[in-house]
Amino acid sequence: MASGRQQVGLKFKQFDYVTDFSDHFYHLRAMSKKSNVNDGKVHNKNSVNRIMKEWEILEKHLPESIFVRVYEGRIDLLRAAIIGAEKTPYHHGLFFFDILFPSDYPNKPPKVRYHSFGLRLNPNLYGDGFVCLSLLNTWVGHETEMWDPLNSTILQVLLSLQGLVLNEKPYYNEPGAKPAWSWENYNADVFTLSCKTMLFLLQNPLRNFEAIIAAHFREHGGTILRACIAYRECRVCIGFFNGDDSTTPSSKKKIRISKKFKNSMDELYPKLFEAFNGIGAPLQNLPEKLVNDIDIQQKPGKGIISRLKTFWEAIMSY
């Protein structure tokens, strides 16, 4: 049986042409006159040819985990959706990027904006949407890591965002990151923010991706909820749930999670359940909300008060 990603890929084209760019970040920015971005026309013939070549590369070589839409009326705009990879705290999330080809492309790298919804879930992705990446010349790196007009491509940018930014331990993307701050704690925050991003996308889907967003979370909603449970119950390190409810840690190190993370899951889980259920995700045998520690202590037959009551009832029966 094909995987969830493959099913989505078979139903929707990885690369396609659309017409509605009205909610694209760089179109809106130009309309508000906050910057001197392109007017929608790339006058340089060499730039036009290069962009068309980029489209061909994307159409032929996009992985199943990345969807791209280009605009028939705006050759300078592009929108991409990246599926968070497994064995990362971004697993099964959807992350959107709006891209602008400058008028003298490829002499200058593309401009990229992340749809953050005000959330910073990675050192390279700011809450205001700024993307920090050497390949975009927005971060200082080695010469071989910077934008090369002759060889660098949009596909390389997207693969870098997926593989180098949305990775297994994003805490270490932070310059000067020290082991004293546990990467597990950072992963807990990242997964929480990824769940919030899912809710934002389901409530306010981006144009031309409405069906993809719904189909993706319809297929993976159950797995995401089971991951919430597994992480909440400390059965697996955050970011490493493999879809198996019996998952156990791969190491002997005891898994600990903060009270903050527990509270976040207790709050977000029922909202995710409702959202996934609303789009028809199969959620059989999954609870509508998580049972927190207080509920467990007060559950009949489990707490000390219940045991004392049973004891005194036995005494009084004599």
Question: What is the per-residue pLDDT across 152-209, written as a single tens digit (0 to 9) for each?
Answer: 999 999 999 999 999 999 999 988 766 656 888 999 999 999 999 999 999 999 999 9
Among 147, 190, 156, 154, CA closest to 172: 190
Q: Where are the domains of the chain?
A: 15-297
With beta carbons less than 8 A apart as the criterion, state whether 145 and 136 touch: no
Kindly report the backbone phi and psi dihedral angles of residue 95, in degrees, each rounded to the nearest multiple of 5, phi listed first: -130, 125
Mean pLDDT of 60-70: 97
For residues 122 and 133, is the Cβ–Cβ distance under 8 A? no
Specify the CATH number for 15-297; select among 3.10.110.10, 3.30.465.10, 3.40.350.10, 3.90.440.10: 3.10.110.10
DSSP 137-205: TSS---GGGS--TTT--HHHHHHHIIIIIS-S-GGGGSTT--TTS-HHHHHHHHHHHHHHHHHHHHHSP
**Tokens matching residue 193:** 């923010």
Residue with more model confidence, 259 or 5? 259
Q: Provide the whole-model pTM.
A: 0.86
- Whole-number percent of the chain with pLDDT over 70: 80
Q: What's the whole-number average pLDDT of the chain?
A: 86
Under the banding of pLDDT at 50, 70 and 90, the label for residue 317 is very low
Q: Is the pLDDT of residue 303 over 90?
A: no
**64-84: average pLDDT:** 97
More confident residue, 198 or 243: 198
Instruction: Identify the pLDDT of residue 114.
Output: 98
Task: Catalogue the active-site residues.
Answer: 132
User: How confident is the model over 265-278, as pLDDT tens digits?
Assistant: 999 999 999 999 99
C-alpha distance from residue 137 to each of 53, 122, 131 (Å):
22, 18, 10
The pLDDT assigned to 290 comes to: 92
Mean pLDDT along residues 236-264: 80
- Percent of the chain having pLDDT more than 90? 71
Tokens of 310: 């049973």
Q: Distance between CA 134 and CA 129 in Å, rounded?
A: 16
pLDDT of residue 6: 45
Residue 291 has pLDDT above 90, yes or no: no
What average pLDDT does this structure show over 237-258? 75
Q: Is pLDDT above 70 for 240?
A: yes
